[in-house]
């Protein structure tokens, strides 16, 4: 068996070539370009090959024989089954079937992808979306034929858009080579169209421009709704009626918030489905694109040492912690309508919880994973008012600088009761997690910026070393910390003996510190998610039943909080948040793990 090296997004990956097939006639060393629906972009084929995507091990295999390119639709789970399916003489579909699979037109031409950033003049587009698209371009991850369009009401020329975008582009620290040149090439493929979000006519003008770029090729279209939620439906209606692809796929990435409770979320889904099929809707939760959140399943399901411990038998509690060291600066108008529970807990923290607590999925296929997430969410008890602690930041002066109160924001009503901090205790009523508190804590304007998952294990039974631990046995329990950001790390707190002749115990960390272990910069979450949407990979996007299950947990308490006008506890800007969070944790015999200094 020979080994074939192929490029995928600029990095070298390994494929497999089987000597049991005869060499490809006439295509020695030919570069074969795959469609955007297949993660391998460019393959130098030297023999008949079966390829397995390294990125998604369940991706379909591609087989090339006698100059024709064929594909098998047999999902490949791992190398072993790959070999087996090869041995068992794989059925080789026709070239027509391959073209269909790869999205090629009758002449075998590759499709184009047009990416329209709706709301291109806005904060998210500038801060995240254009930079992520550039990073994908730099890494050779965008399809060969692509065009990017900015769309918004603001009047701008193509040159002005390029100028605006260029100010936000940077190359990764480890990717500086030809950076300016790459930026220039990228910007040449960015264009702008000014239009209203509720104008079919304006979207039809966009369609005309897109068609000019797409030419005769199959055109796939991705719309990224980077606009406030009240105009989602108008934009989807107009995009779908006037700017959908005529011969390829049309997909829409929808940004959060997906409603503000069960009813409004269902109404949004219903309205979106008037114009789109569920498989065209990509509801984005950017936390699912974060490296360590992606790694959660790998950690759990590929290491024998963790999965057996992953239950009420060994885990005392699990904590999901989000804190920012700045307030709602500039986004107060949006935030006041939602509050921290909707902004962070119902989506980002709950998504991490679902991945953490779900049962083993049947496979890594999107639907199998999302099925498990839905199941665990539906096994959860709706959050109770007595299991919530709320806070709102007030102004604070430190070192001669005065930091504003939440209500100092001009777009926030002076008497706003919107929480900028919340702590919550949730429970999963299934056999695995019965009785284990899943605590969440999220806050703005706190003393630090971080997001992490903390798993506190039970006490060691028996008392062999108890007297060496001192009086606080909780301090001696193992804790697994998954630091999602910043400075990504996974570390396990263990007890060990202090070296020497005595018997003194110490706490140390078994530490996977990403910056020390890997020299490569970690891609931004939006890069992964945009690439997935282009490739039609839905695993990291939220399905509508998942969303329903998530809202069902929070809607009753959100209603009660608003009806009863619960006043949040005030905490100083830059502080550690309200003391109520500690009372809540203490009620379940939990101590917040982030209070200890680990690193």
Ligand X SMILES: NC(=O)C1=CN([C@@H]2O[C@H](COP(=O)(O)OP(=O)(O)OC[C@H]3O[C@@H](n4cnc5c(N)ncnc54)[C@H](OP(=O)(O)O)[C@@H]3O)[C@@H](O)[C@H]2O)C=CC1
Ligand Y SMILES: O=C1O[C@H](COP(=O)(O)O)[C@@H](O)[C@H](O)[C@H]1O
Q: Which residues of this chain interact with ligand Y, rule CB under 6 A?
A: 286, 324, 343, 451
Of 97 and 291, CB closest to ligand Y: 291
Cα(111)–Cα(113) distance, integer angstroms: 7
Of 182 and 286, CB closest to ligand Y: 286
Least gap, CB of 288 to ligand X (angstroms): 13
Number of residues interacting with ligand X: please give it, by CB under 6 A: 19
Q: What is the dihedral of CA 190, 192, 198, 204, to 10 degrees?
A: -80
Least gap, CB of 245 to ligand Y (angstroms): 29
Cα(530)–Cα(363) distance, integer angstroms: 23
Q: How far does Cα 295 stand from its chain's mean position?
A: 11
255 binds ligand X (CB under 6 A): yes
**Helix 158-166, helix 179-188: angle, nearest 10:** 150
Task: Give 372's contacts (C-beta < 8 A, 6+ positions apart).
Answer: 358, 359, 360, 361
Q: By the 8 A CB rule, do 483 and 452 touch?
A: yes
Q: Pick one of ligand Y, ligand X, none as the site partner of residue 537 (Cβ within 5 to 8 A by kind).
A: none
- Residues in a beta bridge with 282: 253
229 binds ligand X (CB under 6 A): yes
Least gap, CB of 234 to ligand X (angstroms): 9
Of 150 and 332, CB closest to ligand Y: 332
DSSP E strand boundaries for 195-346: 219-225, 250-254, 281-284, 315-323
Least gap, CB of 159 to ligand X (angstroms): 17
195 binds ligand X (CB under 6 A): no
Of 129 and 426, CB closest to ligand X: 129
Q: Given the residues 193, 348, 447, 513, select the one marked as catalytic.
A: 348
Task: Give 335's contacts (C-beta < 8 A, 6+ positions apart).
Answer: 328, 343, 412, 418, 420
Instruction: Tell me whether strands 250-254 and 315-323 are parallel, antiparallel or unpaired.
Output: unpaired
Indicate which single residue of 49, 142, 152, 423 sits in contact with ligand X (rule: CB under 6 A).
152
Footprint (CB under 6 A) of ligand X, residues 554-593: none
**Tokens linked to 569:** 């506890």
Specify the residue for token string 């500039």: 330
227 binds ligand X (CB under 6 A): yes
Q: Pick one of ligand Y, ligand X, none as the site partner of residue 343 (Cβ within 5 to 8 A by kind).
A: ligand Y
Phi, psi (rounded to 5 degrees) for 595: -85, -15
328 binds ligand X (CB under 6 A): no
Contact region with ligand X (CB under 6 A), list: 94-102, 121-129, 215-223, 360-368? 121-129
Instruction: Tell me whether strands 250-254 and 219-225 are parallel, antiparallel or unpaired.
Output: parallel
Indicate which single residue of 13, 219, 226, 555 sits in contact with ligand X (rule: CB under 6 A).
226
Least gap, CB of 198 to ligand X (angstroms): 9
Q: Which residues bind ligand X (CB under 6 A)?
A: 119, 121-125, 152-154, 197, 226-229, 231, 255-257, 334
Active site residues: 348
């Amino acid at each position: 068996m020979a080994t074939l090296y192929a490029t995928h997004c600029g990095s070298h990956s390994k494929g497999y070539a089987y000597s049991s097939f005869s060499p490809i006639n006439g295509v020695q060393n030919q570069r074969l370009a795959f469609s955007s629906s297949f993660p391998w972009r460019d393959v130098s084929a030297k023999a008949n090959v079966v390829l397995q995507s390294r990125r998604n091990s369940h991706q379909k295999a591609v087989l090339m024989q006698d100059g024709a390119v064929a594909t098998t639709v047999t999902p490949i789970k791992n190398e072993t089954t790959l070999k087996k399916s090869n041995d068992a003489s794989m059925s080789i579909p026709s070239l027509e079937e391959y073209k269909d699979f790869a999205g090629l037109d009758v002449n075998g031409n590759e499709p184009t992808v047009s990416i329209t950033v709706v709301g291109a003049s806005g904060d998210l587009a500038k801060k995240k979306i254009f930079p992520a698209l550039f990073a994908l371009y730099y890494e050779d991850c965008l399809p060969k034929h692509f065009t990017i369009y900015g769309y918004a009401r603001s009047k701008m020329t193509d040159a002005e858009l390029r100028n605006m975008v260029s100010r936000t582009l940077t190359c990764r620290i480890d990717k500086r080579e030809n950076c300016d040149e790459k930026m220039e090439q990228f910007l040449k493929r960015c264009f702008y169209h000014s239009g209203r979000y509720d104008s079919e006519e304006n979207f039809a003008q966009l369609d005309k421009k897109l068609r000019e770029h797409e030419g005769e090729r199959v055109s796939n279209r991705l719309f990224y709704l980077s606009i406030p939620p009240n105009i989602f439906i108008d934009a989807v209606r107009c995009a779908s009626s006037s700017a959908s692809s005529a011969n390829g796929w049309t997909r829409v990435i929808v940004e959060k918030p997906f409603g503000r409770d069960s009813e409004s979320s269902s109404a949004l889904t219903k309205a979106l489905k008037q114009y789109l099929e569920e498989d065209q809707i990509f509801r984005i939760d950017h936390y699912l694109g974060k490296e360590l959140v992606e790694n959660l399943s790998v950690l759990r399901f590929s290491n024998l040492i963790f999965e057996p411990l992953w239950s009420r038998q060994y885990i005392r509690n699990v904590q999901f912690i989000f804190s920012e060291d700045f307030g709602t600066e500039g986004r107060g108008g949006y935030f006041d309508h939602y509050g921290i529970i909707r902004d962070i807990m119902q989506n980002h923290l709950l998504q991490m919880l679902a991945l953490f607590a779900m049962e083993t999925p049947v496979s890594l296929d999107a639907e199998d994973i999302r099925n498990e997430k839905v199941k665990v969410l539906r096994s959860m008890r709706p959050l109770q008012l007595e299991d919530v602690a709320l806070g709102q930041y007030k102004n604070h002066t430190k070192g001669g600088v005065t930091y504003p109160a939440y209500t100092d924001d001009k777009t926030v009503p002076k008497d706003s009761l919107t929480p900028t901090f919340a702590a919550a205790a949730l429970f999963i009523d299934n056999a695995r997690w019965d009785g284990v508190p899943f605590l969440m804590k999220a806050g703005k304007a706190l003393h630090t910026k971080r997001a992490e998952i903390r798993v506190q294990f039970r006490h060691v039974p028996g008392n062999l070393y108890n007297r060496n631990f001192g009086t606080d046995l909780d301090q001696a329990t193992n804790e697994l910390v998954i630091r999602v950001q910043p400075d990504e790390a996974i570390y396990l707190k263990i007890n060990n003996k202090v070296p020497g002749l005595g018997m003194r115990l110490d706490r140390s960390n078994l530490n996977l510190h990403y910056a020390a272990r890997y020299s490569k910069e970690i891609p931004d979450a939006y890069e992964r998610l945009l690439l997935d949407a282009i490739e039609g990979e839905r695993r990291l996007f939220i399905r509508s039943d998942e969303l329903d299950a998530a809202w069902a947990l929070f809607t009753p308490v959100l209603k009660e909080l608003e009806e009863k006008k619960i006043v949040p506890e005030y905490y100083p800007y830059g502080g550690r948040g309200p003391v109520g969070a500690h009372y809540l944790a203490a009620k379940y015999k939990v101590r917040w793990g982030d209070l200890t200094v680990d690193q």
